[in-house]
Amino acid sequence: MNEQTRISPKARTCAVVLFLIIALYAPSVVLIQSQALNNSKFQASTELDYIVNKFETNLTYLFSLVESLHLSSISHENYSDLALHFNTTAPSLYNRSEHIRVITVAPNGTQLYVYPLEGNEGVLGHNLLEDDNPSVVADVQLALETDDIVVSVPYELRQGGIGIVGRKSVFVNSTWWGFVTIIVDFVDIIEESLLSVVESSYYTCLKDKNGQLVAGTNDIFLEDSLVFSFNIFNQPFSIAFYPIRGWLDYVLPSIVLSHIGILTIVFLTTGISWLTFNKQEELTVLVDKRTEELERANIGLKKEIEDRKRIEENLRAQKEELSQFAHTLSHDLKGRFHNILGYAELLEDEYDQKYVDRISQQVKRMQLIVEKSVELADAGLVIDEKKKYSLRSLVLQVKEIISLGEVELVVQDLPSVYCDGPRLIQALQNIIDNAIIHGNADTITIFSEPKQEHVDLIIENDGKTIPPDILPQIFERGFSTKKGHQGIGLVIIHKIIQAHGWRITIESEDILVYRISIPNSDIAS
């Protein structure tokens, strides 16, 4: 076979995919048809069950009116009262439904009261106990044996037509008095409530408890029909439905649509497979190229991470070296300052006291500058590993360190955070010291405000405020609101907060507010 006639791997793969899809399609036809039939029967069963229940409810309601007629007859068993009351009660019950054929009351079994009389003249004066119709005899006998409403099977009425009879015996002082009866026009009610609702879609068949055909076509009980059973008081019935077009034709449109959908998927899948394999080589080359680029980028990223770690280690080492140098320098200078102060005390007797005091003040100021410089060196830009601390606990530790005097410190509920605890204590101490020493505050209040992406730790005091024009310079090294001060305390606060990756701002209107914004990632749940 030459090169031109050779089948490509892509074509072979697409052929295999197409074969597998078609092989799976055959059994799916049976499955789809079976599923469609089951779904359609379930849907039809739900709809027909509702219709049958409604039909049952209507008939049950009509024959429940027998109970109202029964109560009325007991209350007026005297014939003179009964005649007057029947002429009021019977029309009221009769007007409840157009399907009621006749209402009767039969003292001692003889139907003396009939409504409406027109069309029912053959019923008036008839003794039910002497009726020769086997169906009537059976219903009358059953009514004599029970206190319940007795419903008959449909049968031909004395006055003509087919009806269903609801009858109940009346007992007065445990003595049988007679019957009350309501007859429903069976043909009308079954046509309106049942047959007319489904006649365009289903064959219908209704049977009584003896299996006798009451309405419809008997043959459908032999088909794959849907059968429902229901009771009208004591009388059970069975009703069957079968689609006029048969179940298969009934679901044919949905089956056809399913097959069209499957075939569409087959062709789309084959086409997509072809396009996919056609692009595969190009994509493979592109993926290899991108992989090579990612590998190079990964090597560069690793190097960058190593460089960053090395820089951080160098910074930490430099910070430690600077801190050690500052402590050494501080120790040496403090010794010299003590000597100078000692000499100043010796000069007090020989020289003007004010000049000696000035020397002492300058030396003490230089001591303070050295101490703050050491703190600044310790603050640096690097903090120790963050651990979980209660902010309230840290504030209370600061309270134990500083001298509040007459100042009231109010600490509200505060969250726990991840931080360098000793460094944060140092920053909080400087803030509170500033409020007491430089701000002359009477009350310092500490609380928190949750925001969308962070929580604000707020430290406010009612002491001196800072003019708005100098607020932008407040964290610059060497700047101070007081003449002769170096402003190192605020720089230390700023550096510690920055080293945590947090943000600090100062607001100065009616009161002075320090606002430390702590990101949600550092808030401990």
Concatenating the DSSP letter of every residue in 439-493 gives T--SEEEEEEEE-SSEEEEEEEESS----GGGGGGTTSTT--SSTT---HHHHHH
Assigned domain for 462 exists = yes
User: Rounded CA gap, 401 and 195, in Å?
Assistant: 96
Residue 384 near residue 500 (C-beta atoms within 8 A): no
What pLDDT, on a 0 to 100 scale, did the predictor assign at position 4? Answer: 47
The answer to whether residue 319 is domain-embedded is: no
How far apart are alpha carbons 382 and 43 in whole angstroms?
73
Describe the strand order of the beta sheet including 202-207 as a list of residue ranges: 213-216, 202-207, 235-243, 226-232
Between CA 189 and CA 34 the distance in angstroms is: 37
**CATH classification of the domain holding 445:** 3.30.565.10
Assigned domain for 276 exists: no
Given this model, what pLDDT does residue 392 score?
Answer: 95
Backbone angles phi, psi at 256, to 5 degrees: -60, -45
Span 294-343, pLDDT tens digits? 888 888 788 788 777 777 776 676 566 566 555 555 555 665 566 666 66
Q: Are 143 and 179 contacting, i.e. CB atoms less than 8 angstroms apart?
A: yes
Q: Is 488 within the bounds of a domain?
A: yes
CA atoms within 13 A on the CB side of 322: 16
Specify the pLDDT at position 417. Answer: 96
Residue 88 within any structural domain of the chain: no
Question: Could you identify the residue written with the tokens 């010794």?
Answer: 335
- Model's pTM, two decimal places? 0.45
Closest CA to 397 of 423, 375, 425: 425
> Exposed/middle/buried for 13, CB within 10 Å: 0-12, 13-18, 19+?
middle
State the Cα–Cα distance between residues 451 and 455, nearest whole angstrom: 5
Residue 253 identity: P
What was the pLDDT predicted at 376? 52
Answer for the pair 496, 427: CB distance below 8 angstroms, yes or no. yes
User: Which H helix or E strand runs over 170?
Assistant: strand 162-172
For the chain, what is the total number of helices (H) and then of strands (E)?
10, 18
Average pLDDT taken over every residue of the chain:
79
Stated as kind and residue range, the H or E segment containing 285 is: helix 246-347
Distance between CA atoms of residues 17 and 20, nearest Å: 5
Query: 464: domain range?
Result: 384-524
Residue 418 counted as domain residue: yes
Residue 489 belongs to some domain of the structure: yes
Residue 283 covered by a domain: no
In this prediction, the residues of the chain whose per-residue pLDDT falls under 70 are: 1-33, 76-80, 249-263, 265-271, 273-282, 314-315, 317-382, 477-487
Angle at 171 between CA 168 and CA 177, to 5 degrees: 90
Q: How far apart are CA 420 and CA 499, in angstroms?
A: 10
- Interior angle at CA 239, CA 238 and CA 242, nearest 5: 145
Q: What pLDDT is stored for residue 189 in this prediction?
A: 86
Q: What is the dihedral of CA 18, 20, 23, 26, to 10 degrees?
A: -70
Over residues 94-112, the pLDDT tens digits come to 999 899 999 999 999 999 9
pLDDT of residue 217: 78
| Residue listed under structure tokens 């409020």 | 435
Beta-carbon contacts of 323 under 8 Å, excluding residues fewer than 6 positions away, are 374, 377, 378, 380
pLDDT score recorded for residue 486:
47
Chain centroid to CA 228: how far? 39
Give the number of domains in the chain: 1
Residues 472, 505: Cα–Cα separation, whole Å: 10
